[in-house]
């Protein structure tokens, strides 16, 4: 029986990061909504309560029954989870006088407490809350504080029940992983045995049971997610996997041909489908980002429906959906977190498409997907490829889509990406691309005035796509690439570089 940590989701955008941190410690975790709890059997070694966009003082705040686990299973409340714990058992939670958001430092740490072992005095923690815990119940003991937040961490006396006001799961909490390890390994007594190899083995066995002798149609894009999904399915069902690579007219320059060549050595059964005209026709005249995404999703499904009919008795549609896709589209667990944007491969299928969906990577982040791919023997070149959005260049062309705009952006993108590779910068960047702006600007070439397109270059560093910082590319490189773009791409006379981080900006512009 797989031992695991259960994470109860109250709707925080950080909930999946908790799961990711637990898995970094090689411990299996599952995320469940607060209103749809799992069975707490002997496989559950501990429970973590997430943060939430709600206040515990709200009438509609998520409610939770502690009797199911308190005193029976180790329990850790994070932010909202800690506030709800204190509020429920007699402490005082009230709105903060000032907003407590961002970096803070611990000025008191009880290192004799098992939760705080190895957590340094003055270590940085990440706060993100509008309420604060003014007092804790009498049978709770304080184990950490910051200058502005006295109750930064506590434990229920003589019980393996803990609460922390900050977020240990985010990168900015410098000793956050140590704290989580203290809880998961020392308190919950979990064995650190859940590895990429173990995930691959477990997933392949699960796919065999789930699919049996049925046939699966899978869309390949050449990217990491769909490739790793394909290899997991290939190892599970072999020849019953039918891979399809669709040219939607919005791929990078020469990508259709190069991706088909790339898969030859993997032994996959793959078919290339030219659907450029179909996609561009559906996008004609559309400028709204959500409308464009949904149009691409609709045609994507229609193309797959056509191709599925060419495979006799196909019953499943495989997809490379990963956690960030799900989080930004809907709450990953049915909780109350907000939708940021739609993803074409997230959600149900239309009634006319009589296929079930199988998503082997739905619970993994990008870095985890790469580790699983490495365990399957995929090459470093393939696994190191930058993420590329499902809707392709359609969401990097701001405004309406035309064939000429696609041509311009493909040329610009090729110069930028090839330049990164030539200068040894590609692997230092998590994702890069170019954006065609819906503006023209005045320029001068020779003795003539020009009035042509402006493009933005975007490159970010990240580990999981949930947060990202702009990459500090050398000025000399940017100057060289800008010069090449303006001289070689007809229709462009201005290049700018995007220096915004996520948040507040997203990685893509649409």
Name residue, tokens 């982040």.
365
User: Cβ–Cβ contacts within 10 Å for residue 104, how many?
Assistant: 22
Catalytic residue among 87, 100, 129, 167: 167
Structure tokens at 34: 């607060």
Residues with Cβ within 8 Å of 446's Cβ and at least 6 positions away in sequence, in order, are: none
Q: CA-to-CA distance for 290 and 311, rounded, in angstroms?
A: 32
Half-sphere exposure at residue 57, Cβ-oriented, CA atoms within 13 angstroms: 11
- Pick the catalytic residue: 100, 129, 169, 368? 169
Q: Which of 79, 188, 190, 243 is catalytic?
A: 79
Catalytic, 169? Answer yes
The torsion angles phi and psi of 502, rounded to 5 degrees, stand at -115, 120
Which region holds residue 61: left if phi is over 0, alpha if psi is between -120 and 50, else beta?
beta
Query: How far apart are the C-alpha atoms of 338 and 503, rounded to whole Å?
Result: 15
What are 189's two structure tokens? 């007594």
Structure tokens at 48: 């973590």
Q: Is 472 a catalytic residue?
A: no
243 assigned to active site: no
In whole angstroms, give the CA distance from residue 424 to residue 438: 31
Measuring CA to CA, which residue among 368, 412, 333 is closest to residue 198?
368
Give the active site residues: 79, 167, 169
């Amino acid at each position: 029986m797989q031992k695991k940590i259960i994470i109860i989701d109250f709707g925080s955008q950080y909930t999946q990061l908790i799961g990711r941190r637990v898995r970094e410690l090689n411990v299996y975790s599952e995320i469940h909504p607060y209103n749809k709890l799992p069975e707490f059997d002997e496989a559950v070694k501990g429970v973590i309560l997430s943060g939430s966009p709600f206040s515990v003082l709200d009438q509609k705040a998520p409610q939770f029954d502690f009797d199911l686990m308190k005193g029976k299973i180790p329990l850790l409340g994070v932010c909202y989870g800690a506030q709800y714990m204190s509020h429920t058992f007699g402490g005082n939670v009230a709105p903060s006088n000032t907003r407590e958001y961002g970096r803070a430092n611990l000025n008191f740490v009880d290192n004799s407490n098992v939760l705080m072992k190895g957590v340094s005095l003055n270590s940085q923690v990440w706060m993100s809350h509008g309420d604060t815990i003014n007092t804790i119940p009498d049978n709770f003991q304080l184990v950490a504080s910051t200058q502005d937040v006295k109750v930064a961490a506590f434990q229920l006396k003589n019980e393996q029940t803990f609460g922390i006001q900050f977020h240990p799961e985010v990168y900015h909490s410098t000793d956050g992983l140590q704290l989580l390890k203290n809880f998961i390994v020392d308190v919950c007594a979990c064995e650190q045995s859940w590895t990429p190899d173990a995930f691959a083995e477990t997933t392949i066995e699960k796919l065999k049971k789930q699919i049996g002798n049925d046939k699966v149609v899978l869309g390949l894009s050449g990217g990491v997610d769909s490739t790793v999904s394909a290899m997991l399915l290939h190892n599970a069902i072999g020849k019953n996997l039918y891979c399809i690579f669709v040219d939607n007219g919005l791929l990078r320059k020469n990508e259709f041909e190069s991706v088909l060549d790339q898969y030859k050595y993997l032994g996959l059964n793959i078919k290339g489908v030219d659907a450029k005209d179909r996609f561009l026709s559906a996008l004609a005249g559309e400028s709204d980002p959500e409308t464009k995404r949904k149009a691409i999703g609709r045609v994507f499904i229609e193309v797959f429906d056509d191709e599925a009919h060419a495979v006799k008795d196909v019953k499943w549609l495989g997809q490379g959906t990963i956690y960030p896709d799900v989080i930004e589209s809907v709450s990953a667990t049915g909780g109350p977190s907000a939708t940021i944007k739609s993803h074409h491969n997230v959600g149900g299928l239309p009634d006319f498409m009589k296929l079930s969906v199988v998503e082997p990577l739905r619970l993994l982040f990008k870095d985890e997907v790469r580790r699983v791919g490495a365990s399957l023997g995929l090459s470093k070149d393939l696994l190191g490829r930058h993420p590329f959005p499902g809707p392709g260049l359609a969401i990097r062309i701001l405004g309406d889509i035309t064939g000429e705009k696609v041509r311009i952006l493909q040329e610009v993108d090729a110069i930028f990406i090839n330049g990164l590779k030539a200068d040894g910068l590609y692997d230092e960047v998590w994702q890069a691309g170019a954006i065609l702006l819906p503006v023209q600007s005045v320029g001068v070439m020779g003795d003539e005035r020009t009035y042509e397109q402006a493009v933005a270059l975007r490159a970010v560093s990240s580990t999981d796509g949930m947060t990202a910082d702009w990459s500090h590319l050398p000025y000399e490189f940017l100057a060289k690439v800008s010069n090449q773009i303006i001289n070689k791409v007809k229709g462009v006379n201005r290049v700018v570089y995007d220096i915004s981080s996520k948040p507040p900006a997203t990685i893509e512009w649409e």
